Amino acid sequence: MTATDQPPSVEDAGAKRPEEAPEHRILRAAAQLAGTAILAGSIATLVGSVLAFAFPVLFLFVLPWPFLPLAAASGGIAGGAGLAVGRALGWRVTVERVVVPAAAGVASFPVLLAVSGITWGVPPWLWVAWIVAAVAAAMYGHRRTLRHPLDEWRPVLVRLLVGAGLTVGISAFFLLPSAQWLGGAVPTFLALGGVLLLSGILVSLGPFPSRTSAALAWAGFTLLVASVLAVMVGVTLQSRLAAIEVGPPPPPTVWAGDPADFDPTSDRPRDPSVIDVPPPTLDVGRAQFAALAAATLEAAGPEARWRDEPGVVVREVDCGDGRTALRIDAEFAMGEITDVTTDEQDRAVTEANLAAADRIVLAWSAAGLGTPEVLHGEPILGGAAMSAVDFAKVDFAFGVAQPRIEGRCLPNG
């Protein structure tokens, strides 16, 4: 074999490869860290959700599903930025190990504030869990980047796009259905997200015959992303502007006559035949309210937790002119709802409160009040045979039921 037939040496083959600029290596390492962290958070969420559905007890310990991928994404991007700054300034790896998690924890905090605003607040413990997830994702991405650095952009971009697509899909699945301004457009936006994800993967995989074709492909992908974002922003602004133009709902019609002639069970003036019924004496009214209080306690059952002791208290209110009105304003719950209770427990308490309220309404009706009716979604009864009662109803607040009985002004004598 002649000298001209000799294969090129390793040194000659390596010499033909152009040397990469340092800033390109730094940028690729930062993108690799971010992509690895985002992808890890999304995969952990998918695995955790599957395990939680198989073993419901895990619902007590796993982060709410949209929060974990969002925390990992914000932590990964912030950690990648910290790595880029550290390597651009020539810091050592030991300093990087401190800068990356610190940047992830600090820079992901504004994202948590935005998510908290979208979901109408988050419990305090979730703030700590968010920071832990963001820092853990960034540290994992940094470790993988140090041990297995990638020398090409293609796998880095694929990792970024797949991780970002999973994050958007998981978050949209849990958050978008609660966004009223999207209405029935949620499947459309999810489909567009899938198209963007597939397009990004195809564009990043290539290969392209020339730099010009690659630039055109990336330009088209960027235009597609910008178009989808523009549509989403336009729909949001249109919905908000329409709400501003329509304005708040008109106030309910209020009876302008004598308050004593107003019937709260129908939001209308009282029937004159009912108004003319003379009120009983105060002693008779006390007996009626005592019977209603006992019926309320018995119907709620021994498991009810009452705000007051002994549970249902009859109060007397001075009406003036020698008259007194009786009132019951109680509150109870069939369990406890806190920031750390699960959705299943909250749902069980709410259903138990509703069942107890139904029993109370039936007990009131059996004791002599009117036929139960529903006003604004809540049961309400008139006085009927118990002439000392104006009306009785059960209101509901967060986690509690509030039995309320309002009496008529009765003569003291």
pLDDT band at 253 (very low <50, low <70, confident <90, very high): very low
How far does the chain reach from its first CA to its final CA, in angstroms?
130
What's the pLDDT at 261? Answer: 46
250: which DSSP letter? P
Higher local confidence (pLDDT), 29 or 117: 29
Residues 138, 142, 144, 147, Cα dihedral to 10°: -170
pLDDT of residue 140: 92
Residues 222-235: b if buried by 16+ CB within 10 A, e if exposed: eebeeeeeeeeeee
Determine the pLDDT at residue 77.
85
- Residue 330 · residue 313 · CB < 8 Å: yes
Q: Is 379 helix (H, G, I), strand (E, B) or coil?
A: strand
Query: Is pLDDT at 262 greater than 80 in this prediction?
Result: no
State if pTM tops 0.85.
no
Number of residues that make up the chain: 413
Which residue would you say has higher pLDDT here, 64 or 139? 139
Please tell me which residue, 100 or 119, carries the higher pLDDT value: 100
Residue 107 has pLDDT above 70, yes or no: yes
258 confidence band (pLDDT: 50, 70, 90): very low
pLDDT at 398: 77
Instruction: Say how many CA atoms lie within 13 Å of 267 toward its Cβ.
Output: 7
Q: How far apart are CA 259 and CA 270, in angstroms?
A: 10
Q: What is the mean pLDDT of the chain?
A: 73
Kindly state the average pLDDT of the residues 206-210.
64
**Who wins on pLDDT, 229 or 380?**
380
CB 392 within 8 A of CB 380: yes
The larger pLDDT score, comparing residue 58 to residue 140, is at 140
Residue 302, CB-side half-sphere exposure with 13 Å CA sphere: 0
Residue, of 60 and 102, whose pLDDT is higher: 102
Q: What is the mean pLDDT of residues 197-226?
A: 64
Confidence of residue 274 (pLDDT cuts 50, 70, 90): very low
Q: How much is the pLDDT for 142?
A: 92
Rounded Cα–Cα distance for residues 148 and 157 (Å): 16
Rounded mean pLDDT, 234-240: 55
Instruction: Please check whether residue 371 is in contact with residue 365, taking contact to mean a CB–CB distance below 8 angstroms.
Output: yes
Residue 116: its pLDDT value, please? 56
CA-angle at 196, arms to 191 and 200, nearest 5°: 150
* Position with higher pLDDT, 104 vs 274: 104
Look at residues 213, 217, 186, 214 and name the one whose alpha carbon lies nearest to residue 199. 217
Reported as a single tens digit per residue, the pLDDT across 41-77 is 888 877 776 776 666 555 545 455 567 787 888 888 8
Q: Which of 284, 308, 296 is nearest to 410 (CA)?
A: 284
For 287, other C-beta atoms within 10 Å of its C-beta total 14
Alpha carbon distance 392, 379 (integer Å): 9
Q: Which is more confidently placed, 316 or 173? A: 316
For residue 93, pLDDT over 50 is answered with: yes
Tell me: the pLDDT tens digits for 280-292?
888 888 888 988 8
Helix (H, G, I), strand (E, B) or coil at 247: coil
